[in-house]
């Protein structure tokens, strides 16, 4: 069977991916919070230092006499050759006396405020103003474009780090989930094979001693014990059926020869005939048990090939049409679309025949039995539908077991092995058997799954 393609949804649902995503999210939040804290503290420290420099400069300039203040400010302007500091002295009448910046429309005294950038003249400024004893206004400003640029850079680092961490966590989560998910897929395939009756299959072990290996080892021990018990039970049943068939056949033959004896008492002859009929029923049951054992052993897979389901259904109809007419039952077969499957033609013929035989047995006189072949999502399906009493929902699993007969089957001939044979054939082909309500009656669906896909009957 080719390996199934892993889908993102399957990876996303693994506990490894979720745990990695959770831890990665916590780590990413921690890193972003740390970077954000660094960003906030750095911005606050830079703003505080700038405001402190402005306050100190304002306090120093206010100490100069009014007549020496313009010269001092001009000297400060000359020393600020790198264009970081800006000065402005405004007279009491609002006229500019000294400065290397344009007057500001609104000046806030004794408060730090920002001045927008003017292209080609200066960048964003952080400013502070104060009045002198002579009523003049001193305004000192510093270029904060480098601080703003730093803020932007740190913000980009914070956002970029968060995105990078998120993408990395997702990639790591996917990488860490692939190997366990493949192991789980292998274990799932093994469990489906075990559920389909192949008790020789074992859960794969990676040899790493992790929780998956512990679980697989426990399941393997359980399957081995279940296989041993089932083999013992089957062995006893098959041995009884095989060993008793020969002597019972001899007894029946003896009775048959005794019935041919001239002058046999009629009462004894009647008893012998009844005993012969009962022995025939017992031998049929033993034959069915051995047939099921043969199918469950998988001894018939060598005869698999392409099977035309339409032709197969037509053959079944031709075989059972006389029996249906005898009971006044209308038997119809239809093929909605040509359908082929891979399997043993004789075994599939036997399975469909058993279902049709049951449908005829349980349908009332004047009833209807239909056999239909169609496709469901690209899968071939054979349906056998009747209008009999049907099977209760809580009995649909039980009737698939050996010798179990439904509540309404007491007066109808049979051994309770027909559906068991059908189930064994379905297991051998990895097909699925569904029993549904036809309201009234029963619908038995044989779903021909893809080759190699293990299926569990319902």
Q: What is the pLDDT of residues 240-293, one digit of tens each?
A: 666 666 777 777 777 777 777 787 778 877 887 778 777 776 666 666 666 666
Helix axes 266-296, 211-259, angle to 10 degrees: 160
Shared domain check, 169 and 55: yes
Sheet with strand 379-386: strands edge to edge: 330-335, 368-376, 379-386, 442-448, 432-437
Residues 264 and 318 occupy one common structural domain: no
Do the domain assignments include residue 75?
yes
Indicate if 118 and 98 belong to the same structural domain: yes
Q: Is residue 351 part of a domain?
A: yes
Tokens 């000297």 identify what position?
75
Residue 381 in domain: yes
Q: Do 17 and 147 reside in the same domain of the chain?
A: yes
Residue 196 lies in a domain: no
Among 266, 296, 326, identify where a domain stops: 296
Identify whether residues 237 and 323 lie together within a single domain: no
285 and 366 housed in the same domain: no
Taking only the tens of pLDDT, the chain with its 458 residues reads 334 555 656 566 666 667 777 777 777 778 778 877 887 887 788 888 888 888 888 888 888 888 888 888 888 878 775 657 888 888 877 778 888 777 777 677 777 777 777 765 677 888 888 888 888 888 888 888 888 887 788 778 777 877 887 788 777 777 777 777 777 788 888 888 777 667 778 888 877 777 778 888 888 888 888 777 767 666 666 666 666 667 777 777 777 777 777 877 788 778 877 787 777 766 666 666 666 666 555 545 556 778 888 888 888 888 888 888 888 888 888 888 778 888 878 778 888 888 888 888 888 888 888 888 888 777 888 888 888 887 777 776 767 765 555 555 445 554 556 677 787 778 777 788 888 887 788 888 888 875 433 333 33
Comparing CA positions, the residue from 363, 356, 372 lying closest to residue 321 is 356
Co-location of 121 and 269 in the same domain: no
- 455 falls within a domain: no
Please count the structural domains in the chain: 3
Q: Examine the domain organization and report whether 18 and 163 are in the same domain.
A: yes
Q: Exposed e or buried b for every residue in 181-213, given b needs 16+ CB within 10 A?
A: bebeebbebbbbbbebbbbebbbeeeeeeeebb
Answer yes or no: is 125 within a domain.
yes
Dist. CA 327–CA 321, nearest whole Å: 10
The string of DSSP codes covering 273-302 is HHHHHHHHHHHHHHHHHHHHHHHHTTTTGG
Residue 199 within a domain:
no
- Asked if residue 435 and residue 325 are part of one domain, the reply reads yes
> At 335, which CATH number?
3.30.565.10
Q: How far is CA 301 from the centre of its chain?
A: 32
* β-strands 330-335, 368-376 pairing: parallel
The alpha carbon dihedral of 123, 124, 126, 129 has a sign of positive
Domain interval for residue 380:
302-448
Q: Please say which residue of 189, 224, 255 terminates a domain.
A: 189
What are the DSSP calls for 308-371, one per residue? EHHHHHHHHHHHHHHHHHHTT-EEEEEESS--EEEE-HHHHHHHHHHHHHHHHHHSPTT-EEEE
Note whether 95 and 55 are same-domain residues. Answer: yes
**Does the global pTM surpass 0.85?**
no
181 and 129, same structural domain?
Answer: yes
Tally of CB atoms within 10 A around 22: 12
Residue ending a domain, among 296, 317, 352, is 296
CATH code at 235?
A: 1.10.287
Q: Say if residue 108 is in the same domain as residue 45.
A: yes
- Asked if residue 37 belongs to a domain, the reply is yes
Q: What are phi and psi of 440, to 5 degrees?
A: -90, 165
């Amino acid at each position: 069977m080719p390996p199934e393609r892993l889908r993102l949804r399957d990876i996303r649902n693994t506990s490894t991916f979720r745990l990695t995503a959770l831890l990665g999210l916590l780590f990413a939040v921690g890193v972003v919070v740390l970077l954000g804290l660094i960003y906030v503290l750095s911005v606050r420290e830079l703003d505080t230092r700038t405001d402190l420099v402005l306050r100190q400069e304002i306090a120093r300039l206010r100490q100069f006499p009014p007549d020496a203040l313009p010269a001092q400010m001009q000297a400060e302007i000359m020393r600020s050759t790198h264009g970081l500091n800006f000065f402005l002295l405004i007279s009491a009448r609002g006229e500019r006396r000294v400065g290397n910046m344009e007057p500001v429309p609104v000046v806030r005294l004794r408060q730090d405020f920002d001045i927008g950038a003017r292209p080609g003249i200066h960048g964003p400024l952080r400013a502070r103003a104060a009045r002198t004893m002579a009523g003049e206004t001193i305004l000192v400003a510093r270029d904060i474009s480098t601080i703003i640029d730093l803020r932007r850079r740190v913000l980009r680092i914070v956002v970029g780090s968060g995105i990078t961490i998120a993408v990395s966590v997702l990639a790591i989560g996917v990488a860490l989930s692939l190997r366990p998910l493949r192991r789980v897929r292998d274990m799932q395939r093994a469990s489906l094979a075990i559920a389909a009756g192949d008790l020789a299959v074992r859960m794969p072990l990676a040899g790493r001693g992790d929780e998956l290996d512990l679980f697989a080892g426990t399941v393997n021990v359980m399957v081995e014990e279940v296989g041993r018990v089932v083999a013992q039970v089957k062995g006893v049943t098959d041995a009884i059926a095989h060993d008793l068939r020969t002597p019972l056949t001899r007894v029946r033959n003896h009775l048959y020869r005794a019935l041919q004896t001239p002058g046999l008492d009629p009462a004894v002859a009647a008893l012998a005939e009844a005993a012969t009929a009962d022995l025939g029923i017992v031998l049929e049951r033993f034959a069915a048990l051995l047939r099921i054992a043969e199918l469950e052993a998988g001894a018939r897979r060598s005869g698999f090939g392409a099977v035309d389901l339409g032709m197969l259904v037509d053959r079944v109809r031709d075989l059972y049409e006389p029996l249906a007419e005898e009971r006044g039952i209308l038997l119809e077969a239809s093929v909605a679309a040509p359908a082929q499957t891979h399997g043993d033609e004789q075994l599939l013929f036997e399975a469909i025949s058993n279902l049709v035989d049951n449908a005829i047995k349980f349908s009332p006189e004047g009833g209807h039995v239909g056999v239909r072949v169609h496709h469901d999502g690209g899968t071939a399906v054979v349906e056998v539908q009747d209008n009999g009493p049907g099977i209760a929902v809580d009995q649909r699993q039980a009737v698939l077991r050996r010798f179990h007969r439904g509540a309404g089957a007491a007066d109808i001939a049979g051994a309770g092995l027909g559906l068991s044979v059908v189930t064994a054939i379905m297991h051998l082909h990895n097909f699925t058997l569904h029993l549904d309500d036809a309201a009234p009656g029963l619908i038995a669906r044989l779903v021909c799954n893809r080759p190699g896909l293990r299926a569990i009957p319902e």
